[in-house]
Structure 1
């Protein structure tokens, strides 16, 4: 299975809401995610499942991706916001049937830590950036980095 880690789009300034947990995507964040989603569709094929952090900025990003991939059901997973990769790996191992790709929409610093743990690669995961890991069949917690893309690169793919 391919694991695709996506950081949510640009969110409101922390001072805009009483709590960081309530921050939503900005207009720019929404448009960037819509553009990158078109390119992401060219990089990810087959049956796709989408899991997201329950925080609004991640959920809004996941909703845009679900629309682009025509995924009807998104799973909110508290372990994404909590940064608990072990719980996530246990749950994705149990998926039946296994999707060809599982897109996880989350936050920094967790996504960067997970990428490093799974592949050994240290990556600057900017807002709306994405990376794909081909998971090892024998271990859900290791894999090979397939690609990493900045949102402008993904959006540019769709423009070609």
Structure 2
């Protein structure tokens, strides 16, 4: 089994402040709260073989904080995790690559993370699962075969429970 943690980026600057959405950084509050969440995850014993992040600034900054706290020594960017990303293209990549990974963090955006969780656990997205900023969802993926509709939701934590 593979433990997959879906982590939403922290609080980011308002859209109106930036001409490009991809350039919006975390606010100082977003950095502080994300660091507190990461420290709690570390205290709880979470460690990731890899952190895979959206290349958008706010997600990359969130992933950098997770790495700096010591949750993983490996971090990579993936366009699959952008707001336009598609779970099925990510799954194709994952099936070819995941052999040595037992614990993986995906740092991304809403509504993707909630919808991806619904697809993995229930086989379809209904838009009912929402991940708060700096929130974490844990899903166990089966080692063999498609994880769609066959995964187990084991953790759904808004950041307020980790602060």
TM-score w.r.t. length of structure 1: 0.88
Deviation by residue 1:66-118 (Cα, 9 ceiling, x = unmatched): 11235333110001102211222222223355222110000011111101111
1:85-96 counterparts in 2 under 5 A? Answer: 85-95=87-97
The higher relative CO (CA closer than 8 Å, separation ≥ 6) is in 1
RMSD: 1.8
Does residue 140 (structure 1) correspond to residue 114 (structure 2)? The answer is: no
The number of residue pairs the alignment matches comes to 154
Tell me what 1:3 maps to. 4
C-alpha contact (below 8 Å) 1:93/1:140 kept by paired residues: no
Gaps of 5+ in 1: 156-160
Shift of 1:19: 1.4
Tell me what 1:116 maps to. 118
- Point out 4+ residue stretches in structure 1 off by more than 4 angstroms: none
Gaps of 5+ in 2: none
TM-score w.r.t. length of structure 2: 0.86
Tell me what 1:63 maps to. 64
C-alpha contact (below 8 Å) 1:7/1:129 kept by paired residues: yes
SS in 1 for 2:97: coil
